[in-house]
Chain A
């Protein structure tokens, strides 16, 4: 199927739009979660959505999307609260609080899910699709709900932009400036819950954690500004969503959720490796360059010292000697020095053996380096 044909398919349109909305909202809000070192809170919130979905179903009596998502929002927020209470009022640390809250909410979800299945309610079919998401079942009406939530979350971020920024960077200072820090932090947490709710239909409760973290981490590598980071993260989120949805649509019955997550993961890896400045490849390269430069300088000053010892500026050092001196091959360093016009290779003549000789530039350079070190006789 061609891309155009794909995009004109009604179901696929829904999936792509839904995935893009998810990428947009989770990319934006994920930035704040990651910067506040609450990356795994998204994981807990998403697992905690499961009991909420079941409760929403039980209350509504049918597979009513609005009540199930409301339930998910409520239980997600409750799970965050449980985690907070556990860590504030006992000696348990954050990691244990997150894990307890996550696993027990999920256990409750599983129990409720099996309870509903036991009641033989005909409408319950596919309730467990929320575990991995069921993108293909996305309806236009679902999109309106997802779009509404996304819009509300984005509006809040824009409205309270500078407050969210300050609270994420320096909450104590924010409090001394009179900002209601606790309210703003709660707001950010509830908004991550909103993003999770948008993602339930697309990627499900299990993989949602990555949608909160991955776009933000990828975006962080490319920029040093929060505004740009949020924008990029949203774009990366959208791109992952659309990629995943399209690959899934192109065939072989691959699930959309995992493909979206994999797309996001690939973008993270690319960013970590190649982003200018922070990219791993660049920093390895500049480390290697620095080391190469240092080695050349060392070789140059060694030649200079040998020349000085022989009181002869045209003294020729054999390469074998330099190699023994360093215990490794210095051929490449010497070649670089030669290219820069600091040394030259001289053959045998009446006066001396063949070997490497310093040029005038080389002598000046060696003196400059040694002076820079502060001692004329340092190696």
Chain B
């Protein structure tokens, strides 16, 4: 089992969600986060004074999937979250030691 974490542009969330759902990913968690990468931040102007905003709003999407689904899911996120402009985000994959569904107590593959 792997945890796929993707940091994406907020306006791409709907497309990514739809793509993953249609590919059989049954659950995911999203959070509103702020951060910067190569894109850096942006500037805002108030009363003629520019402010540098370093941390820009992003969405962090997390989903646990079976090992054999990882490549397909990563590809789907890459395609659906891409705008082609700087700041599209990143995806990383980490190992998951164990997983339990709280309601039933099922674990491992059955709990995904």
User: Do A and B actually bind?
Assistant: no
